[in-house]
Amino acid sequence: MAEKKKTSVWDYLAWRGDLPFAKDEFNEVDNLLLCIVSYIDFRRIAGLRSCKLADAMCIGDVCGLLTEQDEQLGLSEEDYIPVMRAMAATPRFRDVKMFAFESSIDEEKVMQFAAVSFLLPDGSIFVAYRGTDTTLVGWQEDFNMSFLSAVPAQLRATEYAQEVLRHCPWRKLRLGGHSKGGNLAAWAAIHLPEKVQRKRLLAAYNNDGPGFDRSILDSKEYRRVAEKIHTFIPESSLVGMLLEHTEDYELIDSSNRSFMQHEPLSWTVLGKKFCRSTQRTEAAKASDGAIREWLAEMSMQERQEFTETFYRILSMGGKAKTLEDLREGGFSGGLALLREYIGTDEKKRKLVTQILLRLAAGMGGGLWKSVGQHWRALGESIEQKYRGSAES
């Protein structure tokens, strides 16, 4: 029997794009599509920065202003402007309006934040938070989530949602994001004022974003919105499991493998839902266990030391600012820092090599292939050094 074709958001737009929201209400695939759009670089379109609904721009009009230089700023090698154009051509999305675009990088604060809001034809607002981009500041902020009670992007995410709501009185609210953006969406939902949580918040979507520390999940603020938070994790995800998801989450299927399952265009779709998966892959479970063990055994100070060192390793001692810099810079500097940090500690070696090799696994061509080779070389070099020391 021939293997059944795996379908994606492209197929969703072809099959269901003719159904307006009045006939078929907002769903989880709509959420992912809007989050994909949030990665596009709208900085040249000044009109999108206004928070006033009267200034909101139709999605098709925005598409008409985009060029190749505005392509998405995320970690994907896929082009996202064609997705946005396909959305604008459907009856479902052509009346969607966009506003309140914001984007900022602050190396001093260690903050990478971007968001854009959508006025949907059903009268609700969808706030989409961008995930981690190719700047290593964004990666450092992700790592900082393991020891800080709140990172700057999380605090800004809540402020941003409240600012949008002040310009949209009485309208209902949905929040969403992919990668770190998913964590920001859930964080904002948890920290909105109680009245907003109860009366205006419809849902928050965490699409393969990190989870939260147990202290957050034990809070009354979280419990008020727990049923409104929807978390989707591919079966082989690493990014979405950087912090353990003790909250409920849905395992979903992807047409990619390993780390590349993080790519939202690879998520398989059936009708208006993602295809569910039954269990995490064995490789993913092994890495999950290493990360959980690390988090459980380290103090907050030790977590901070680890993440700061790991960032120094990835950034070659601060010489690299972006993933493009890594591609051009080789790995000798990172290797020296890595060996210095690990020393003879087997647990550190196991954790770091698990993360590096897992990041490298399954990476495609172009930029990611080069960066993947960089990380794989680091991991394999440490493994070889360890084996040599053990044999002698």
Task: For 86-132, write each residue's pLDDT tens digit.
Answer: 999 999 999 999 999 999 988 888 899 999 999 999 999 999 999 98
pLDDT tens string 259-303: 678 889 999 999 999 999 876 555 555 555 555 566 666 677 777
Q: How many CB atoms lie within 10 A of CB 392?
A: 5
The set of long-range contacts for 22-28, using a CB threshold of 8 Å and a minimum separation of 24, is 22/121, 22/122, 24/92, 24/272, 25/122, 26/120, 26/122, 26/124, 26/126, 26/174, 27/272, 27/273, 28/205, 28/230, 28/232, 28/272, 28/273, 28/274
Of residues 180 and 139, more confidence is placed in 180
Task: Report helix angle 81-88 to 28-37, nearest 10.
Answer: 130
Q: Which two tokens stand for residue 314?
A: 């990835």
Are the C-beta atoms of residues 72 and 81 closer than 8 Å to each other?
yes
For residue 128, give the H/E element and its range.
Answer: strand 125-129
Lateral strand order in the sheet of 111-119: 57-58, 97-106, 111-119, 125-129, 173-178, 201-207, 229-234, 250-252
The segment with the largest mean pLDDT, out of 23-27, 232-236, 282-286, is: 23-27
Q: What are phi and psi of 105, to 5 degrees?
A: -125, 125
Q: Which two tokens stand for residue 39?
A: 């990665």
Residue 312 has pLDDT above 50, yes or no: yes
* Banded model confidence at residue 51, pLDDT cuts 50, 70, 90: very high
For residue 95, the number of C-alpha atoms closer than 13 Å in the C-beta half-sphere is 12
Looking at residue 280, its pLDDT comes to 57
